[in-house]
Structure 1
């Protein structure tokens, strides 16, 4: 390949990268920057997720408990038998849901979350009250760029 064509090809690749990289980062949005995103909310404060974040619903455990105790008879022995049967029939999936619900509450508490919705990035930055996770992450990323 002649030297002039080689220099042109090299310059062309540089030009393509100069436009493609910022464009792809803009398309990917905040998710391209945030390594670990955690969203803490409940069923009364819906959020618009962006995918890939961990979602903690603080009222998940009481909702599961309500499922287990729905339409129980007044007789305690019968009610106990029904709940045991429901717990058994739920199997590993139910056990996972219960464990995850309570672990989420513990994690939110240990992070010091004070209101919801809360979007936490890298266990270090938090935005309260923003229901759009992508916007909250973008605000955090802007802050990180100005104050690294």
Structure 2
């Protein structure tokens, strides 16, 4: 059986500086996505606060619903990490109960969890 067989829900927490090897089907949360979006919105703004505000509003409007979803998803990911008690990255969380820290290969982390969950003879 594949490692994914043992995992109904797999969530991976990382950031852009800690790439992971995904296995497919997991939820990938990059905890620095929110600040990266903010940096996009605030890139090359003028010093004048009124002009800067107008440009950011225009960027937000031009981004539309897709940008709003990206922002919401980015900060929901941070909230999810906090609520699960994630303490370091990368981390692979299975079924909101088991976690492996520091393993960038998601399939290997899930396999370690599956091995732990197997009934002992």
More helix by share: 1
Higher RCO (C-alpha 8 Å, min separation 6)? 2
Q: TM-score, normalised by structure 2?
A: 0.97
Q: Give the equivalent residue in structure 1 for 2:94.
A: 121
Q: Give the equivalent residue in structure 2 for 1:14.
A: none
Aligned-residue RMSD, C-alpha: 0.8
Q: Give the equivalent residue in structure 2 for 1:64.
A: 37
Q: Does 2:65 correspond to 1:84?
A: no
Question: 1:146, 1:49 → 2: CA distance?
Answer: 26
Runs of 4+ in structure 1 over 3 Å off = none
Q: Which structure's CA Rg is the greater one?
A: 1
Question: 1:143, 1:66 → 2: CA distance?
Answer: 41
Provide, for residues 15-42 of structure 1, a one-character-per-residue CA deviation record: whole Å limited to 9, x for no partner: xxxxxxxxxx2xxx21122100000000
Q: Give the equivalent residue in structure 2 for 1:45.
A: 18
Q: Which runs of 5 or more structure 2 residues have no equivalent in the other structure?
A: none
Equivalent residues, number: 120
Q: TM-score, normalised by structure 1?
A: 0.79
Q: Which runs of 5 or more structure 1 residues have no equivalent in the other structure?
A: 1-24
